[in-house]
């Protein structure tokens, strides 16, 4: 899929007050800004137009703009984040997406769904059931996908935070898998590149046009992806990792 544009959001000054389970220390705000700028540059080099939204200190996690929406070439879904503190993030993203003239859908109560639990593979979507995405949210999204002519598979997660914490689609019928998704029945039809336990964080990569963007500092995974024939680019995301975030969370790509 050609990625033409992305939406990102400038990290809020309150970023360090966001949700985290990582135990990796407090993010350094100047480094957060620097890594975010570098992420935007890597994206521009990959050939996308970048639409940057202003930050909002009331929402320390709002740089993880992937969670309040899912965007395809046909429609946009405004989600209902499972984390209470993130629910209001949808407003700014919905306003931004109105410029792109897609059919708009929403997830309604009692459903919850976060974009991190949605993996788009050609004309099919995988939806993870997690602590953030519940059955009602997943089923509401499944009904929307059916109406729009896409397939859907709902997958209960065992350990991962979000679905895409442990799996990425690299294009060319190939998935990158870690932990509970290695040799998972649902993904058997794809070629598989596996991520070792030591490098588990690197399962969250993103394919953007000709390149696979990988987090900096995971040489084994990078090498495996290159050996499978993909071109890679690294981006440093250590400060986002401290808040349980990764490469995919930082943008909406469409």
Among 68, 137, 166, 245, binds ligand CIR (CB under 6 A): 245
Active site residue 162: yes
Q: Are 134 and 128 in contact (CB under 8 A)?
A: no
Residue 239 contacts ligand CIR per CB under 6 A = no
Contacts with ligand CIR by CB under 6 A: the residue count is: 16
From the number of C-beta atoms within 10 Å of its C-beta (0-12, 13-18, 19+), residue 197 rates as: exposed
Residue 20 contacts ligand CIR per CB under 6 A = yes
Beta carbons within 10 angstroms of residue 6's beta carbon:
24
Residue 18 contacts ligand CIR per CB under 6 A = yes
Q: Are 240 and 9 in contact (CB under 8 A)?
A: no
**Cα–Cα distance measured from residue 233 to residue 247, given in angstroms and rounded to the nearest whole number:** 12
Backbone angles phi, psi at 123, to 5 degrees: -100, 25
∠ at Cα 27 (117, 30), nearest 5°? Answer: 115
Contact string 27-56 vs ligand CIR (x = CB under 6 A):
------------------------------
**Cα–Cα distance measured from residue 160 to residue 191, given in angstroms and rounded to the nearest whole number:** 21
Active site residue 120: no
Residue 243 contacts ligand CIR per CB under 6 A = yes
Starting at the edge strand found earlier in the chain, the sheet holding 191-194 runs 167-171, 174-177, 191-194
Q: How far is the CB of 229 from ligand CIR (least distance, A)?
A: 27
Among 116, 137, 166, 179, binds ligand CIR (CB under 6 A): 116
List 36, 120, 162, 205, catalytic entry? 162
Q: How far is the CB of 74 from ligand CIR (least distance, A)?
A: 22
List 36, 120, 205, 249, catalytic entry? 249
Which residues have CB under 8 Å from 226's CB, separation 6+? 232
Q: How far is the CB of 165 from ligand CIR (least distance, A)?
A: 6
The number of residues making up the chain comes to 254
Binding to ligand CIR, residues 134-173 (CB under 6 A)? 162
Residue 244 contacts ligand CIR per CB under 6 A = yes
Q: Where are the alpha helices (DSSP H) in 18-89?
A: 29-45
If the CB atoms of residues 64 and 230 are measured against ligand CIR, the closer one turns out to be 64
Active site residues: 162, 249
The residue ranges that bind ligand CIR (CB under 6 A) are 18-20, 61, 64, 66-67, 83, 86, 116, 162, 243-246, 249
């Amino acid at each position: 899929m050609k990625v033409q544009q992305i939406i990102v959001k400038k990290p809020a000054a309150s970023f360090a007050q966001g949700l985290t389970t990582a135990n990796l220390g407090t993010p350094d705000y100047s480094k957060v800004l620097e890594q975010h700028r570098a992420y935007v540059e890597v994206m521009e080099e990959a050939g996308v137009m970048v639409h940057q939204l202003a930050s909002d200190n009331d929402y320390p996690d709002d740089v993880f703009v992937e969670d309040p929406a899912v965007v395809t070439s046909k429609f946009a879904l405004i989600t209902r984040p499972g984390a209470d503190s993130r629910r209001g993030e949808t407003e700014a993203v919905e306003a931004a997406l109105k410029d792109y003239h897609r059919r708009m859908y929403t997830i309604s109560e009692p459903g919850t769904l976060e974009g991190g639990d949605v993996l788009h593979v050609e004309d099919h979507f995988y939806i993870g059931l997690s602590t953030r995405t519940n059955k009602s949210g997943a089923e509401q999204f499944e009904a929307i996908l059916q109406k729009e002519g896409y397939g859907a598979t709902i997958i209960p997660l065992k350990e991962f935070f979000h679905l895409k914490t442990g799996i990425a689609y690299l294009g060319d019928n190939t998935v990158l898998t870690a932990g509970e998704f290695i040799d998972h029945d649902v993904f058997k039809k794809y070629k598989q590149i596996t991520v070792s336990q030591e490098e588990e964080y690197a399962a969250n990569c993103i394919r953007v046009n000709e390149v696979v963007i990988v987090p900096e500092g995971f040489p084994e995974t990078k090498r495996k992806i290159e050996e499978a024939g993909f071109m890679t680019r690294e981006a440093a995301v250590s400060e986002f990792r401290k808040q349980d975030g990764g490469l995919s969370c930082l943008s909406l790509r469409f």
